[in-house]
Amino acid sequence: MIRICLFFSALMMVFLPTKAQRYEKTTLGAKATINQTTVEIQFYSPTLVRVLKWPAGNTFTKQSLSVIKVPEKTPIKIQENKDRLLISSKELVATLNLKDGQVTFRRPDGTALLNEKGAGSSFTDFTDSGTKTYTVAQSFVLEKEEPIYGLGILQNGKLSQRNQKIRMVQNNTWDFVTFFQSIKGYGLFWDNYSPTTFNDNAEETSFSSEVGDGIDYYFMYGGNADGVVAGMRNLTGQVPMFPLWTYGFWQSKERYKSQTELVGVVKKYRELGVPLDGVIQDWQYWGNNYLWNAMDFLNPEFSNPQKMVDDVHNLNAHLIISIWSSFGPATKQYHKLDSIGALFNFATWPESGSETWPPNMNYPSGVRVYDAYHPKARDIYWDFLNKGLFSRKIDGWWMDSTEPDHLSFKPADMDTKTYLGSFRKVRNAYPLMAVGGVAEHQRAASADKRVFILTRSAFAGQQRYGANTWSGDITSSWESLRNQIPAGLNFSLCGIPYWNSDIGGFFAGGYNKSWNDGSGAKNPLFQELYVRWLQFGAFTPMMRSHGTDVPREIYQFGEKGEPVYNAIESAIKLRYSLLPYIYSTAREVTNEQSTFMRALMMDFSKDKNVSNINNEYLFGPSILVAPVINAQYTPETIVKTNEKTGWNKKDNDKEKATVTETFTQPKATKVYLPAGVAWYDFWTNQMHNGGQEVLKTTTLSTIPLFVKAGSIIPIGPDVQYASEKNWDNLEIRIYEGADGSFTLYEDENDNYNYEKGIYATINFNWNNKTKTLSIADRKGSFPGMLSSRKFKILKVMADQSTETGVKNDHKEITYMGRRIAVKF
Among all residues, which ones are annotated catalytic? 400, 403, 473
Q: What does the alpha-carbon distance between residue 636 and residue 526 come to, in Å, rounded to a whole number?
A: 9
- 59: Cβ contacts below 8 Å, ≥ 6 apart: none
Which helix (H) or strand (E) segment holds residue 165: the answer is strand 165-168
The three-point CA angle 4-7-10 to 5° equals: 150
Contacts of 83 by beta carbon, 8 Å cutoff, 6+ apart: 97, 98, 99
Rg (CA), the chain: 28
* Peptide linkage before 350 cis (omega within 30 of 0): yes
Cα 249 to Cα 241: distance, rounded to the nearest angstrom: 18
d(CA 487, CA 15): 58
DSSP secondary structure of 175-193: EEEEEEEETTSEEEEE---
Single-letter code of the amino acid located at 402 = T
Are 823 and 772 spatial neighbours (Cβ–Cβ below 8 Å)? yes
Apex CA 242: angle with CA 302 and CA 491, to 5°? 100
List the Cα angle 234/237/240 in 5-degree steps.
115
Strand-pair category, 326-327 with 368-369:
antiparallel
Which helix H or strand E contains 387, and what residues bound it? helix 375-388
In this structure, the strands spanning 112-128 and 326-327 are unpaired
Cite the beta strand spans of 660-805 per DSSP E.
667-673, 678-681, 687-689, 692-698, 705-708, 712-715, 730-735, 740-746, 760-767, 772-775, 779-780, 789-797
Using left for φ > 0, alpha for ψ between -120 and 50, and beta otherwise, residue 421 falls in left
From the centroid of its chain, how far is CA 29? 33
Pairing type for strands 499-500 and 467-470 reads parallel
Return left, alpha or beta for 101; rule: phi > 0 is left, psi -120 to 50 is alpha, else beta: left
Could you tell me which residues are beta bridge partners of residue 114?
105
259-272 helix and 305-314 helix, angle to the nearest 10 degrees:
10
Between strands 165-168 and 196-200, the pairing is antiparallel
Tell me the C-alpha distance between 134 and 614, whole Å. Answer: 37
User: How do beta strands 667-673 and 692-698 pair?
Assistant: antiparallel
Are 42 and 28 contacting, i.e. CB atoms less than 8 angstroms apart?
yes
Label residues 445-472 b or e (16+ Cβ within 10 Å = b): eeeebbbbbbbbbbbbbbbbbbbbbbbb
Helix (H, G, I), strand (E, B) or coil at 2: helix
- Residues 703-742 as b/e (b if ≥16 CB within 10 A, e otherwise) read bbbbbbbbbbbbbbbebbbbbeeebeebbbbbbbbeebeb
**Residue 524 phi, psi dihedral angles, 5° rounding:** -55, -30
Bond prior to 563 in cis (omega within 30° of 0): no
